Amino acid sequence: MRTVQELILKLGLQPHPERGYYRETYRATASTAIYFLITANEPATFLHRLVSDEVFHLYDGGPLEILRLFPDGTWDVAVLGMDLDADERA
């Protein structure tokens, strides 16, 4: 397993305004893709309203809990992880 600093250097990540580290890997008129790394020192990002869809892929670590707030006032927590038997997937 690589250290956080090794991942930051290897992937060319920069500090992200919502915490963690990132690097944009794709940009088009209607979408973008980024690498995004959160660490044990900053295990959560700030809540924010999405103006477009987000797709998550987990490559290491986890599980990651994703709080989803819907326009009708309902919410849920999707768990993204590697333990499929524990329903860790989003």
**Which element (helix H / strand E) includes 29?**
none
Instruction: Indicate whether 82 pLDDT > 60.
Output: yes
Q: Provide, rounded to the nearest whole percent, the portion of the chain with pLDDT above 70.
A: 99
Residue 57 pLDDT: 86
The conformational region for residue 77 under phi > 0 = left, psi -120 to 50 = alpha, else beta, is: beta
For residue 8, how many other CB atoms are within 10 A of its CB?
17
Positive or negative, the CA dihedral 52, 57, 60, 63 is positive
- Condensed to tens digits (0 to 9), the pLDDT of residues 21-62 reads 999 999 998 889 999 999 988 888 888 888 888 888 888 888
What pLDDT band is residue 90 in, cutting at 50, 70 and 90? low
Q: Per-domain residue ranges for the chain?
A: 1-49, 56-90
Structure token digits, residue 45? 């990002």
